Amino acid sequence: MAANAFKIIRDEHRALASVLRSLVLLLDQYRRDATPPDFALLRAMLFYVDEFPERLHHTKESELLFPMVRSRTRECDEALDRLDREHERGERAIRDLEHALLAYEMMGEERRGAFEQAVRNYVDFYLDHMHVEESQVLPVAERVLTEADRQTLDEAFARNRDPLADPTPDGAYRPVFLRILMNTPAPLGLGAAAA
C-alpha cells in the first residue's frame, strides 16, 4: 500500500500530541505523588520531540509541503508564514526546554516550577501549532496539490517515519521508544506509570 503523506502527517501529529500530553500528566503525577521524577524518561521524551518532529517532520513541511501549497494558491499564506516562523524557532525552543530539564535535575526543587511551566507553555504552543496545520493548511493542500505533488510528498513522508506513529520503528530507536511507552501515563503509556 502506497504511503499517504497527509495520513502520515496526521499520524505523526497524534503521536507527538500523545507524548506532549503524557509529559504533562507525568509531571502532574510526580507532583501529586511527591515522588522524584524519572529524569532519564523525561530526557527520552524530549529527545523524541527533538529527533523526529523538530528535525525530520518540520523539515519536510517547511521545505516541501509548504512551498508546494504556496505554488498552487495564496489562500493560506498567512498561516504558512506563521508556521514557518514557528518551525524556525522550534530548535531553540526544544533546546531551552532541555536546558530547563537539566537545570531541574542539577539544581533540584528550586528549578522544578520553572521546568513545569516551560513544559506547559511548550505543549500549549505545539498543540496550537499542529491545530493550525491540520485545520488551515492540510485541507487546502489536499484540495489544490496535483497528483505529481502528492506522489513527491508521499515518497518524502514515507522516509524517516516517526517511530511512535509507525508500527515498525527503526531498530536503532526501538529501545528509546519502548522506554517512553512502558513508563508514561495514558494517552501514550502502557507501563507502570500509567497504573
Whichever domain contains 181, its CATH number is 1.20.120.520
Band (pLDDT 50/70/90 cuts) for residue 195 is very low
Rounded CA separation 65/59 (Å):
9
pTM confidence score: 0.86
Residues 91 and 57: beta-carbon distance below 8 Å: no
**Phi, psi (degrees; rounded to nearest 5) at 161:** -65, 145
SS3 category, 191: coil
Lowest mean pLDDT among 17-31, 34-48, 68-82, 174-188: 174-188
Lowest mean pLDDT among 56-60, 65-69, 73-77, 189-193: 189-193
pLDDT value, residue 51: 84
Residue 76 three-state SS: coil
Cell numbers given for 46: 524530549
Question: What is d(CA 11, CA 152) in angstroms, rounded to the nearest whole number?
Answer: 18
CB atoms within 10 A of CB 176: 17
Residue predicted with more confidence, 179 or 155: 155
pLDDT of residue 194: 41
Give the pLDDT band (50/70/90) at residue 90.
Answer: confident
Residue 81 belongs to what domain range?
A: 5-194
pLDDT computed for residue 175 by the predictor: 75
**pLDDT at 119 exceeding the cut of 90:** yes
Quick one: average pLDDT of 150-162? 85
- Helix axes 147-158 and 5-33, enclosed angle (nearest 10): 40
* pLDDT given at position 191: 55
**What total of structural domains would you count in the chain?**
1
- The pLDDT tens digits for 167-194 are 555 566 667 777 777 777 666 665 544 4
